[in-house]
Chain A
Amino acid sequence: MLTGNILTSDFLRKGSALIGLRYRLIWAQARSSQGMISVLLALYLLGVLAAVLISFGGAGAAIAAIALGKAESISRWMLTSLYANGFGLSLLFGFGARAAFTDGALRRFPFAARQRFLIRHGIGIFDPVWTLLICGALGLAVGMFWLKAGSLVPGLVAAFLFIFASYLTTASLLAIVNRLMQTRGGTAILWGGALTIFSVGPLLLQSLDPVRLRLVWRLVDMALRWMPPGVAAGMMVGPIRWSMAGRLVILVLWIILLALFLRWIEHRPIKSGTDADGIEPIMALEADVIGQVGALFGRRYGPLVDKSLRYHLRCNLIRYSLITSPLLVVVIQFLNSKSAPGGFLFASVLIFYILSCATAAGMMLNLLGFDGAGVRRYAVIPASLGDALRAGSLASMILRLMVVLMAFVFWIILYWKEPKSWRMVLMLVGIALTGTIIYNAIGLWISIFSAKAVDFDSMWNNRLSLGANVAMLVGVVVPYALGAVLVDRLGRAAFMEFYDQFWWTPWVTALLAAVLYLLSFHNLDNALRLKAESVIRRIAGAH
């Protein structure tokens, strides 16, 4: 068992002190200028989430009062959606314990291995995201009791245990993904998995007739009954009865199994493919593809482009973004409104624009951020910090163009049945080029004025600086919203008319973007001269 005689008062006191420290660190981060955006976003999302949760809880309770027969089913699906929210937010905002609370960091304190496990995940579950979800689950339980659709004590117990189970499931899933990302073959497995889930899955569901589709949903619903959301929902609804004890046992068993699985997966050694490839290091200097690509950029930029490509292609987050971005074209099938004219074109335009802006944004909008203390080297070698930035931007451009090319190939294969024309292809290429070039131009300036040190190994976090967050929000959301509103107001027919006459305009914007990029490329040195010391200090830290 995980517990035993390890839950001593001394352990609980130290554990709660560390949880308190976690919150103090969150506050300290929020007080820095770089952290302000996290606070604003977090507050916004907390507000939205709180509203959603309250309405969910209220609606669930109201429905339960009206139709007692469906209360359990609705609660089951509501708890499932709560879990999905927790998983998504954990991915977005970083998950559980940070570097200061890793197993390695906790080893300096007098804790046993099991105590360290409990502390790490205790800190994780008291993260703001999960605290909110606890409120949501408790709200549902209280709502059921209030409307006389459930009992209070079993409901509250079920809510707490459900959150524990959800947290452990999320932690296990992310631990698996983290481990896969650190192995060479793991990236391909993840890519295949994502491809299957997002493309084959929906396509299969679409191909089913309504009767079979209902059967599939019934089977999913039945499976959910034995999973934590279903078991917890069963405990929240109805009067106290003996069957609740059975559900309690199932829920506790789930928690024990998930905790054991999490411990097992965390203790498995990571077999990294990158350090044991058997290539003689000195030989590798001669026969290296990245080196050959770098050499194309001459003596001034070649070594820096080579370094930037090598560095970013070794970052799990960047690799993940580069590999999964072309899969975004799969989403076109969901946006494609077949009843409206030009639905496929409109969806393709949106996706290729977003793809060209958002791919590996962490690299493009913070070109030196991954270097850590290494950023000081640019100041002492015979190159300017501006050269390092320009080379990073060229590397970013190369990677992004490769992604766009892959996405086009994928788009042609996946939608081979859809009608296409050369004008459509040229328009999409123009849009992808515009996004790629303009965002790399902006990236040069944001890397100077809003540089941020980035944890190279951290997989799940918002790594963008204040400026980068603003650029992403404004650059992606505003054009998307504008496009959607315009098409909604003017109608798809107007969009198609515009396309027929002005399909070439993205090439004009791409040209203008190229001018902006070249101007930025050649004129950033004066700004950098003023900001160089502060950029280095921000990324490398003060020495």
Chain B
Amino acid sequence: MNESMMQSPDGVAIRIDHLTKRYGEFTAVDGMTLEVPKGRLFGFLGPNGAGKSTTIGCLTGLLDPTSGFVELLGERFSSDSIDLKRRIGVMPEGLALFDQLYAHEFLAFNGRMYGLEESVIRQRVAELIGALDLTAASRKRLADYSTGMRKKVAFAAAIIHRPEILFLDEPFESIDPAGVAMLKDWLRRFVSDGRTVFMTTHVLETVERLCDDVAIIKGGQLAWRGELDCLGKGGTLECDGEQFSTLEALFLHLVGERYNHLDWL
């Protein structure tokens, strides 16, 4: 573990304290409090419109909270925290790519913004483009990439500087199975040396197999938080005094099952 990672003595990578974000009358996140320990792969789940992207926005500098605060690696974080931003990597919703750049230009841009040396940038860009199977498309601009390829580029941009916390918003959707398997392997290695991954996804099976901890939010509030280790050993998840053998069952219990029928279909 490097020196900077030791700066958070309590072993907490992300601390969210009574976080609230309002847009006019609408409250997207409502007084959320949550801690994510270091070295964990953390799944952040919720139905559409639950406030996941708003929360990640506040955790990564896209949005400033209306009230409450966020601490990353033991330091108070806001959209102005330039030094802290150097220590995190983000794959935001919508990917936020500069569409008219080539992949190598975009990755080099990110490398320079995070202060990497030119020789390191060249080496990492070449390795990432090769490993993510993007070499054949290297003469296309990002605007002409498929959705899966764009996700790979955004992922590469998030990890090029070897961050201490990695925020991923829906990282696996649209990526081919071989690519997903490789990214999962990278993420496991990433957390094995004390780094932290905070990710959202709607694919509950992936979360169940990959993540160590999960938080489920609903209506901008934390609905459940727990560890998933027990599921692999044949255990169950407990919520409201009930036992659930899968994450999907727990999720549907929390957000409500919806089986509306369309007669005409």
Chain A positions near chain B (C-beta within 8 angstroms): 274-277, 281-282, 284-286, 299, 302-304, 306-307, 310-311, 314-315, 370-377, 379-384, 456, 529, 532-533, 536, 540, 543
Contacts and interface: CB of A to CB of B under 8 A. Distances in A.
A311 B98 contact: yes
A536 B62 contact: yes
A543 B94 contact: yes
Interface string B39-77: 000000000000001000000111110000000000000
B85 A285 contact: no
Give 6 closest A-B pairs by Cβ, nearest first.
Answer: A303-B112, A376-B96, A382-B85, A380-B90, A377-B96, A374-B98
A376 B98 CA distance: 10
Contacts of B94: 373, 376, 540, 543
Given A284-B104, A285-B125, A543-B93, A275 B109 contact: no
A382 B99 contact: no
Give the most central of A276, A281, A371: most B CB within 10 Å: A281
B114 A311 contact: no
B95 interface: yes
Nearest to B154: A377
A382 B109 contact: no
B125 A282 contact: yes
Contacts of A314: 100, 141
Nearest to B113: A381
Contacts of A310: 100-101, 105
Nearest to A386: B80
Nearest to A380: B90
Interface of chain A: mostly helix, strand, loop or mixed: helix
B219 to A, nearest CB: 19
A82 to B, nearest CB: 38
Interface residues of B, number: 46
A492 to B, nearest CB: 48
Contacts of B93: 543
Contact of A380 (B92, B100, B109): B92
A391 to B, nearest CB: 11
Given A376-B94, A540-B94, A285 B114 contact: no
Given A281-B104, A379-B79, A380-B90, 9 more contacts: A275-B140, A275-B141, A282-B125, A304-B113, A311-B100, A373-B99, A374-B96, A374-B99, A379-B61
A261 B99 CA distance: 32
Nearest to A377: B96
A306 B143 CA distance: 19
A307 B97 CA distance: 12
Interface string B163-195: 000000000000000000000000000000000
Interface in B76-124: 79-80, 82-83, 85-86, 90, 92-105, 108-110, 112-115, 118, 121-122
B126 interface: yes
Interface of B: 53, 60-64, 79-80, 82-83, 85-86, 90, 92-105, 108-110, 112-115, 118, 121-122, 125-126, 129, 138-141, 143-144
A281 B110 contact: no
A311 to B, nearest CB: 5
B144 to A, nearest CB: 8
Given A380-B92, A381-B85, A384-B80, A371 B62 contact: no
B161 to A, nearest CB: 9
Contacts of A374: 96-99
B92 A315 contact: no
A456 B97 CA distance: 14
10 contacts: A275-B141, A281-B104, A304-B113, A315-B100, A374-B97, A377-B97, A379-B60, A456-B100, A532-B79, A533-B63
A278 to B, nearest CB: 8
Contacts of A281: 102-104, 129, 138-139
A79 to B, nearest CB: 41
Given A376-B92, A376-B96, A282 B122 contact: yes
Contacts of A276: 139
Nearest to A291: B108
Nearest to B90: A380
B25 to A, nearest CB: 16
Contacts of A375: 96
B120 to A, nearest CB: 12
Contacts of B102: 281
A536 B57 CA distance: 12
Nearest to B121: A285
